[in-house]
């Protein structure tokens, strides 16, 4: 009779070959660096909800790290005309944004009273200072160079931001692909990496009208266009969830980083990353 079949006797996975001793082998915790990760939370107050606040933001930063990894790979794939790979990568970025959106549902369980117990401990720290979030915005084309200033105390962060600004944005890479497909793209839209947020260009609107009026003739562009819309859709939801969560928790108080709080976040709702792809729907 096997061990697991004996009444009253605990099952031992070792009987089926499971490794149970890791003194000289890499374990699950070793591979994932769990000791470092699980000891990276250092609340500065006695408030119970501060741990929730820290973990929510730390896990969001981990998802953003993966998002940057996939966005960089997607840009490389599009630049090399490897569109099936790019479609998979962009779809994954949208799913990552879905995870980031779900995180707000957990944070919204924190009440205003809960937050006030540790808010003073945050000092001037604020999410708008997130380096990875800024890199994501720059990669997607919202290149507001004024937002380098919160990182000027850290030369390495400034170098990363400037390196991103020296690269074509995701949208520029897509437009360069459109030109290789024989469509008219203005030189100044792709000649040099963007140094400011993208604004609607009539010639680019004409390009997308051509694509959307005959998808079968321009399938690769039609597909990547929809992937960009999908990504921005999730990104807009993330911003909206951010606004409503902040309003629910602090009302219209100023943000810890000195911004207007809700008023600042509402302005961000007006940002369009790929304006022609949204406005083309009206023109069809």
Binding site membership: which residues? 53-57, 115, 119, 242, 256
Task: Specify binding-site residues for heme.
Answer: 242
Rounded CA separation 90/97 (Å):
11
Residues 6+ apart with CB under 8 A from 69: none
Structure tokens at 183: 């469509």
Task: Specify binding-site residues for substrate.
Answer: 53-57, 115, 119, 256
Query: Which among 90, 89, 65 has a CA at the least distance from the CA of 160?
Result: 65
Query: Which among 57, 63, 39 has a CA at the least distance from the CA of 122?
Result: 57
Rounded CA separation 245/127 (Å):
13
Structure tokens at 74: 């997607």
Structure tokens at 55: 């973990």
* Cα–Cα–Cα angle for 4, 9, 10, rounded to 5 degrees: 70
Residues 6+ apart with CB under 8 A from 65: 132
User: Helix, strand, or coil here: 172?
Assistant: helix
Whether the Cβ atoms of residue 211 and residue 222 lie closer than 8 Å to each other: yes
Backbone torsions φ then ψ of 82, nearest 5 degrees? -95, 70
């Amino acid at each position: 009779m096997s061990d697991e079949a004996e009444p009253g006797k605990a099952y031992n996975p070792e009987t089926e070959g499971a490794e149970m001793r890791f003194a000289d082998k890499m374990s699950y915790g070793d591979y994932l660096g769990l000791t470092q990760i699980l000891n990276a939370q250092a609340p500065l107050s006695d408030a119970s909800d501060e741990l929730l606040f820290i973990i929510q933001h730390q896990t969001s930063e981990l998802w953003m790290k993966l998002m940057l990894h996939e966005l960089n790979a997607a840009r490389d794939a599009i630049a090399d005309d490897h569109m099936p790979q790019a479609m998979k990568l962009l779809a994954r970025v949208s799913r990552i944004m879905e995870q980031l959106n779900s995180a707000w549902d957990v944070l919204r369980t924190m009440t205003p009273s809960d937050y006030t117990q540790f808010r003073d401990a945050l000092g001037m720290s604020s999410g708008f200072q997130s380096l990875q979030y800024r890199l994501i915005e720059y990669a997607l084309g919202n290149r507001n160079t004024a937002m380098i200033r919160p990182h000027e105390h850290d030369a390495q962060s400034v170098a990363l931001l400037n390196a991103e600004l020296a690269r074509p944005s995701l949208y520029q890479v897509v437009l360069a692909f459109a030109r290789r497909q024989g469509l008219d793209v203005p030189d100044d839209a792709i000649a040099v990496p963007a140094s400011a947020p993208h604004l609607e260009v009539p010639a680019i609107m004409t390009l997308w009208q051509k694509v959307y009026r005959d998808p079968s003739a321009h399938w690769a562009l039609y597909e990547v266009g929809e992937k960009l819309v999908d990504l921005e859709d999730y990104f807009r939801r993330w911003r909206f969830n951010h606004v409503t969560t902040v309003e629910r928790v602090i009302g219209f108080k100023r943000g810890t980083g000195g911004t207007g709080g809700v008023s600042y976040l509402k302005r961000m709702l007006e940002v369009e990353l790929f304006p022609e792809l949204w406005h083309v729907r009206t023109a069809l």
